[in-house]
Amino acid sequence: MKEIVKREGLEWIKAFALGMIIFVFIRIFFFSNYVVEGESMLPTLEDGNKVVVNKLGYETENLERFDVIVFHANEEEDFVKRVIGLPGDKVEYREDMLFINGKQVKETFLKHYREQSPGSYLTGDFTLEDLTGVERVPEGKLFVLGDNRLGSWDSRQFGFISEEQVVGKVNLRYWPLEEMDVSF
């Protein structure tokens, strides 16, 4: 009887250890937790929100306009921003309206800010050429903006980001619990 209990205990320890190894492997290679710092993504994401970033289920060529991503801004910091311009895109803002390749594109996620600031512009007029010296987003690059256009440090200031800088796509906000969400 003692031998059976000992064997069963050993099996439980092996199962637990294997489970921990699988958990760590998934955590390192597939998903990461991030804590949002700052106000550049307000009202979509707030300072202190906790999000899960999918590192595997995306490929940079599968990123879509308006995806919220995390990327390495430098060796110590990661930023959360929204993809606005994809490789080959011509990006322009005129009278607070986004134009991609000459066609107006609605930014429904800015509705909250626009309602709070009737009659004023959230995003100043610019073209990519004004900001970066090139007319289109180069291959392997992305143009990103924060949702808090009046208080975001983004591609308007630091230029394009490289696709290699992208950590992953934000798939879930899980904290605070009452604001849990999967669509941004």
The model's pLDDT over 56-73, given as tens digits with 9 standing for 90+, comes to 655 666 789 999 999 998
Among candidate residues 17, 59, 20, 50, the one with its CA nearest the CA of residue 32 = 50
Q: Are 54 and 154 in contact (CB under 8 A)?
A: no
Asked whether the predicted pLDDT for residue 179 surpasses 70, the reply is: yes
pLDDT at 109: 86
The predicted structure's pLDDT at residue 50:
86
Mean pLDDT of the chain: 85
162 DSSP assignment: E
Q: Would you list the DSSP string of 18-55?
A: HHHHHHHHHHHHTEEEEE--SSTTTTTS-TT-EEEEES
- Given the residues 55, 81, 141, 169, select the one marked as catalytic: 81
* Domains in the chain: boundaries: 1-30, 33-176
Q: SS3 for 116? A: helix
Tens-digit pLDDT profile for residues 82-113: 999 999 999 999 999 999 999 999 998 888 78
Active site includes 183?
A: no
> Which architecture does CATH list for 33-176?
Ribbon (2.10)
How large is the average pLDDT for residues 150-177?
Answer: 89
Choice among 40, 141, 155, 169 that is catalytic: 40
User: Catalytic: 40?
Assistant: yes
HSE (CB half, 13 Å, CA atoms) of 170?
A: 29
